[in-house]
Copies of this chain bind each other. A is one copy, B any other.
Amino acid sequence: MNARPPGRPRILSRERIVAMARRIADDEGLDALTVRRVAQRLGTGQASLYRHIEDRDELLRLLAEDVAVHLPGAGEQADPRERVVGQWLDAYDYLARHRWAARIIAEGEHVADSASVFSSSALDALGSLADTAPGATGASRADLARVYRVLWHLLLGHVLNVHPVGHAEATADEATADAAGAEDATDVSGPHGPHGSHGPHGPHGVSTPRDDFVWALPRVLDGVLGAS
């Protein structure tokens, strides 16, 4: 819409602010995201941002909404179960790439609406699955919402818990106490590929957070959809 003047673009806007903020958050984490840094990177004075945003909290909210809007919808698979599992794995991969946003979304109160394309799409897919399931007599809308929330919380828990080995690891395989090898598993290899095709274990035989989620998702689905 606006003709961009030559050289560095001048006109400040909410969109440009949010875009730059998102780049900083993705690159350097939420703590590095200061109002002053955003202004500096945009080449404006520190106080200028307050013409477009109320305060830092609003910036964080805008940021979280920007992420929430882009949560993936359900795919086009014919099998409702594949559709459900696929969407939630996509959502996991997406949020794992923006952990900071997951943190804000979990804490924020008004981001729910921004995720409506995700949530309504997910509810539809869950509805189809509930109707198709063997023995299940369909589920009420309230039950579906409950199932949705359980999956959402399961997803949040897996995304927000950072350290790759859960509490249990040290207890599970007794001796090797300090064998917490894999430090950063940030490179989850871009595209979401064939879901759950590879084995359940990482290079060292320890399971990554994503492996845990891949393992848990279908089983949890069985549990929460089994009985009404």
Contact = CB atoms under 8 A, between A and B. Distances in A.
B112 A215 contact: no
Contacts of A223: 219-224, 226
A161 B170 contact: no
Interface string A137-174: 00001101110111011111110111101111111110
Interface residues of A, number: 54
Nearest to A223: B223
A87 interface: no
Interface in A189-228: 207, 212-213, 215-216, 219-224, 226-227
A118 B162 CA distance: 19
Given A171-B119, A226-B223, A157 B166 contact: no
Copies in the complex: 2
A108 interface: yes
A216 to B, nearest CB: 4
Contacts of A216: 146, 150, 153, 224
A55 interface: no
B167 A156 contact: no
10 contacts: A108-B162, A109-B163, A115-B167, A118-B167, A120-B171, A123-B168, A146-B215, A153-B212, A156-B160, A156-B161
Interface of A: 106-109, 112-113, 115-116, 118-120, 122-123, 141-142, 144-146, 148-150, 152-158, 160-163, 165-173, 207, 212-213, 215-216, 219-224, 226-227
Q: 6 tightest CB-CB pairs across the interface, nearest first? A: A223-B223, A153-B157, A157-B157, A149-B166, A145-B172, A156-B157
